[in-house]
Amino acid sequence: MRAIKIFWEEAMRVTDRTLGLVFVIAALIMGFMATRLPGGAPGNYGPDVFPILLSIFAILTGIGLIVRNSANQGTLKPLVRRVRLDWVRGAAVIASPIYAIVAMPTFGYSLTIFPVLVLLMAVFRCRLIIILPVAALCTIAIKYAFINVLSVPLPTATFLPF
Amino acid sequence: MSTLALAFDLVARWEVLLAITLAAVFGLFVGAIPGLTATLAVAVLVPITFHLDPIAAVGAMVSCSAMAIFAGDIPAFLLRIPGTPASAAYADEGYKMTLRGEAEKALGASLLFSAVGGLFGTAVLMLAAPSLAEVALKFSSFEYFWLALLGLTSAAFVSAGDPLKGLASLLIGLSASTIGMENPIGTPRFNFGSIELLGGVNFIAALIGLFAVAEILRYALKPSNNPHSVPQTSVGNPFRAWGKMLKTYWRNQIRGNILGVVVGALPGAGADIAAWMAYSISRRFSKQKEKYGTGHVEGIIESTSANNAALGSAWVPALVFGVPGDSITAIVIGVLFVHGMNPGPTLFLINPENIYAVFLIFIVANILLVVLGWGAIAVSKRILIIPRRLLMPVILAFCVTGAFAGNNNTFDIGVMLCFGILGFLMEENGIPVAPCILGLLLGEVLESNFITSMLKADGDLFAFFSRPISAGLGILTLIIWLFPLIRTVQALRVRRQKTA
């Protein structure tokens, strides 16, 4: 009896052909960049050798993905299930570390992490009455654990005297 | 008075036992925090050990590292954030068990087999230290090259469901490992002018990104796919469940222990590689291959047995020859020198009770692991009661802090984010992240040993098969490489015949 395969294709999924093509292009770029690296190592085994070998393997892998996609065409019919993505929440998660990179050296640890927690909890639809105390408590607890217990220095605000 | 009795006297003192217990609690705490490794836990302990006597100092470091390695499994299983690189090998397996309500079973298995693995490693350390160290020191760049390639191959072809996508993931990790100055002539490579990237990609930041940030992104982007919180079922008496697991999976445990001891004894290999290789081997030889990757306890058992066994055997080359087996033993060697216990063959001749005391400490630490570990599980599984919409922001805050804490710069937060997005996109397209992590971890080892071997052999590739161990490892690796290729060709041929 022939097995029936059902493939779930979600919102961010691309075909093996596209994936293989991306792989081949990225490998070609890496291989080209590797050839521009300075030589000078004994026996001609310089910093370019390993990346060039990797790019060759990556090109072969990419071609493998493309070939497999072509071989599977017609035999497999994917059942597409579109999942609705919540872009606002996703953007908030990506924006939080970016904000931390920019703000932490100036505002210090607490004034960076506290707003991040408040923003994320608000975007994730937590109740407002618990957001502020939980965010404050977590900021203090993480800071205390890292500074006092683990002896890891965390940045302080440059404009505050303490 | 016999040496063993003298050693027992050295250990059975309140200040030694107190140091071991406090260090164990500290190790549990550090290991459970994403981004902080067992090595960091031991490093933080170093200044304190200067005020302790030598046995208490070594005891503190042994118990701290054993606890930290186990504790890495707690966030890995509960939140999909591996506390240590060793836990990354089977993090997905444990996390999927948690999502099924079996967190207690997964963590219980990890705890039991960690302790048994640790005791096995200690037994080997006691009985075969000098002879095992001699074998380990015979490894040259050829053997290390094949060992690294075998580990990577196993991860890509055996542990990943789709070998081609596993290979793609591995190549992404290996490519990322080429960034920086760790290359044959120490020239900046693919750093795009960035000073921060001269030292390469921060492994811990990448690890946090690939696992934790990718998971948070998935939660944020797909709210309909995620449960509000994860209800858990209790396994009841943990000791009864352990008995059943020991009876069912005793082969996995023994195989994991042996592999862990062998890999751990090799200088530079350590618990991380042992765990990855054990997981791959477990999947390859399992009768229930199809269950791997869906939350199957078998993979956890073999890997966790291997990583804790490796922890003990990593001390073999450290104690016998003063050559560290991993980063933890490298720190310990320094502390031993400070306390006048110079590692080397003389350690077994002058005051041998000291070395036997170290062996006894290993046994005490592994027994303590069961007691404290169970307490840690009981406390930590309560995390799952917390609604995920409240938990996820706190985890992200921890991730940001953990990534920053490694090198004390905000650049690594960016590295974490980039790898988080990469991990999310990879998983959405069916590319497993585990081989990528291993590629990043072993890329530098693979390249340096490949280049060294090529220079030694003057470009002759047959030299890679000229030594017996090297040839054995090489042939094994090539068989694993060729196997999926043959299977794919056969499958294509069968399909063509059917359509024709």
**For the segment B71-106, what is each residue's pLDDT rounded down to a tens digit?**
888 888 887 777 666 777 888 888 888 888 888 888
pLDDT tops 70 at residue B224? no
pLDDT tops 90 at residue B389? no
Averaged over B349-376, what is the pLDDT?
83
Instruction: Give the model's pLDDT for residue B327.
Output: 67
Among the partner residues A13, A41, A90, nearest to B220 by beta-carbon distance: A90
Q: Which residue has the tokens 């961010």?
A: A12
Are B416 and A13 an interchain contact pair (Cβ–Cβ within 8 Å)? no
Averaged over A153-159, what is the pLDDT?
84
Q: Can you give chain B as a three-state secondary structure string?
A: CCHHHHHHHHHCCHHHHHHHHHHHHHHHHHHCCCCCCHHHHHHHHHHHHCCCCHHHHHHHHHHHHHHHHHHCHHHHHHHCCCCCHHHHCCHHHHHHHHHCCCHHHHHHHHHHHHHHHHHHHHHHHHHHHHHHHHHHHCCCHHHHHHHHHHHHHHHHHHHCCCHHHHHHHHHHHHHHHCCECCCCCCCCECCCCCCHHHHCCCHHHHHHHHHHHHHHHHHHHCHHHCCCCCCCCCCCCHHHHHHHHHHHCHHHHHHHHHHHHHHHHCCCCHHHHHHHHHHHHHHHHCCCHHHCCCCCHHHHHHHHHHHHHHHHHCHHHHHHHCCCCCHHHHHHHHHHHHCCCCCCCHHHHCCHHHHHHHHHHHHHHHHHHHHHHHHHHHHHHHHHHCCHHHHHHHHHHHHHHHHHHHHCCCHHHHHHHHHHHHHHHHHHCCCCCHHHHHHHHHHHHHHHHHHHHHHHHCCCHHHHHCCHHHHHHHHHHHHHHHHHHHHHHHHHHHHHHHHC
A34-38, B93-97, B351-355: segment of lowest average pLDDT: B351-355
Q: What is the predicted ipTM?
A: 0.89
pLDDT tops 60 at residue B479? yes
Structure token pair of residue B257: 């222990």
Pairing between strand A79-80 and A8-9?
A: parallel
pLDDT tops 90 at residue A112? yes
pLDDT tops 90 at residue B171? yes
Q: Which residue has the higher pLDDT, A8 or A11?
A: A11
A3-17, B233-247, B471-485: segment of lowest average pLDDT: A3-17
Question: CB of A24 within 8 Å of any CB in chain B?
Answer: no
Question: CB of B29 within 8 Å of any CB in chain A?
Answer: yes
Question: CB of A77 within 8 Å of any CB in chain B?
Answer: no
Tell me the pLDDT band of B267, cut-offs 50, 70 and 90: low
Residues 466-495 of chain B with CB under 8 A from chain A are 488, 492, 495
Query: Which SS3 state, helix, strand or coil, does residue A8 take?
Result: strand
Averaged over B269-279, what is the pLDDT?
77
Q: Scanning every residue of chain B, which has its alpha carbon at the shortest distance from the alpha carbon of A117?
A: B393
Measured from the Cβ of residue A122, the count of other Cβ atoms closer than 10 Å reads 14
Averaged over A14-25, what is the pLDDT?
90
- What angle is formed at CA B214 by the lines to CA B271 and CA B440, rounded to 5 degrees? 40
What does each C-alpha distance from B24 to B37, B50, B329, B332, B361 come to in angstroms?
14, 18, 17, 16, 12
Residues of A in contact with B44 (CB under 8 A): 150-151
**For the segment B107-154, what is each residue's pLDDT rounded down to a tens digit?**
888 888 888 888 888 888 778 776 766 676 677 889 888 888 887 887
Pick from B397, B402, B375, B219: nearest CA to A137: B397
Give whichever of A1-5, A81-85, B260-264 has the largest mean pLDDT. B260-264
Question: CB of A140 within 8 Å of any CB in chain B?
Answer: no
Domain boundaries, chain A: 8-80, 87-149
CB pairs under 8 A between A and B: 183
Question: CB of A127 within 8 Å of any CB in chain B?
Answer: no
Averaged over B352-379, what is the pLDDT?
84
pLDDT tops 90 at residue A115? yes
Are B429 and A104 an interchain contact pair (Cβ–Cβ within 8 Å)? no
**For the segment B396-430, what is each residue's pLDDT rounded down to a tens digit?**
998 899 889 878 889 999 999 999 999 999 988 88
A16-30, A61-75, A97-111, B149-163: segment of lowest average pLDDT: B149-163
Q: Which residue has the higher pLDDT, B306 or B324?
A: B306
Instruction: Give the model's pLDDT for residue B269.
Output: 62
Averaged over B216-223, what is the pLDDT?
84
The contacts of residue B10 (CB under 8 Å, 6+ apart) are B16, B55, B353, B354, B357
H or E segment to which residue A9 belongs = strand A8-9
pLDDT tops 80 at residue B492? no
Question: CB of A134 within 8 Å of any CB in chain B?
Answer: yes
Q: How far is A45 from chain B (nearest CA, A)?
A: 6
Measured from the Cβ of residue B384, the count of other Cβ atoms closer than 10 Å reads 18
Q: Which residue has the higher pLDDT, B159 or B152?
A: B152
**For the segment A50-98, what is each residue's pLDDT rounded down to a tens digit?**
999 999 999 999 999 998 877 766 555 555 556 677 889 999 999 999 9
| Contact of B391 with B383, CB cutoff 8 Å | yes
Pick from B49, B129, B126: nearest CA to B337: B49
Average pLDDT of chain B is 81
Are A93 and B183 an interchain contact pair (Cβ–Cβ within 8 Å)? no
| Contact of B298 with B173, CB cutoff 8 Å | no
A137-146, B220-229, B300-309: segment of lowest average pLDDT: B220-229
Pick from B92, B83, B411, B89: nearest CA to B263: B89
Among the partner residues A23, A43, A117, nearest to B454 by beta-carbon distance: A43
The contacts of residue B196 (CB under 8 Å, 6+ apart) are B409, B411, B412
Residues of B in contact with A134 (CB under 8 A): 390, 394
Structure token pair of residue B259: 């592999």
Domain boundaries, chain B: 3-466
Are B220 and A93 an interchain contact pair (Cβ–Cβ within 8 Å)? yes
What's the CA gap between B309 and B121, in Å, rounded? Answer: 4
Give CA B54 to chain center in angstroms: 28
Residues of B in contact with A132 (CB under 8 A): none
Residues of A in contact with B446 (CB under 8 A): 50
Averaged over A144-155, what is the pLDDT?
82
Are A116 and B187 an interchain contact pair (Cβ–Cβ within 8 Å)? no
Q: Report percent pLDDT > 90 for chain B.
A: 8
H or E segment to which residue A80 belongs = strand A79-80
Q: Scanning every residue of chain A, which has its alpha carbon at the shortest distance from the alpha carbon of B499?
A: A75
What's the CA gap between B205 and B162, in Å, rounded? Answer: 26
Residues of B in contact with A51 (CB under 8 A): 175, 178, 189-190
Contacts of range B486-495, beta carbons closer than 8 Å, 24 or more positions apart: B488/A68, B492/A71, B495/A71, B495/A75
Are B44 and A61 an interchain contact pair (Cβ–Cβ within 8 Å)? no
| Contact of A154 with B408, CB cutoff 8 Å | no
What's the CA gap between B216 and B222, in Å, rounded? Answer: 10
Question: CB of B408 within 8 Å of any CB in chain A?
Answer: yes
Question: CB of B185 within 8 Å of any CB in chain A?
Answer: yes
Structure token pair of residue B428: 């959405």
A33-42, A98-107, B315-324, B404-413: segment of lowest average pLDDT: B315-324
Residues 338-377 of chain B with CB under 8 A from chain A are none
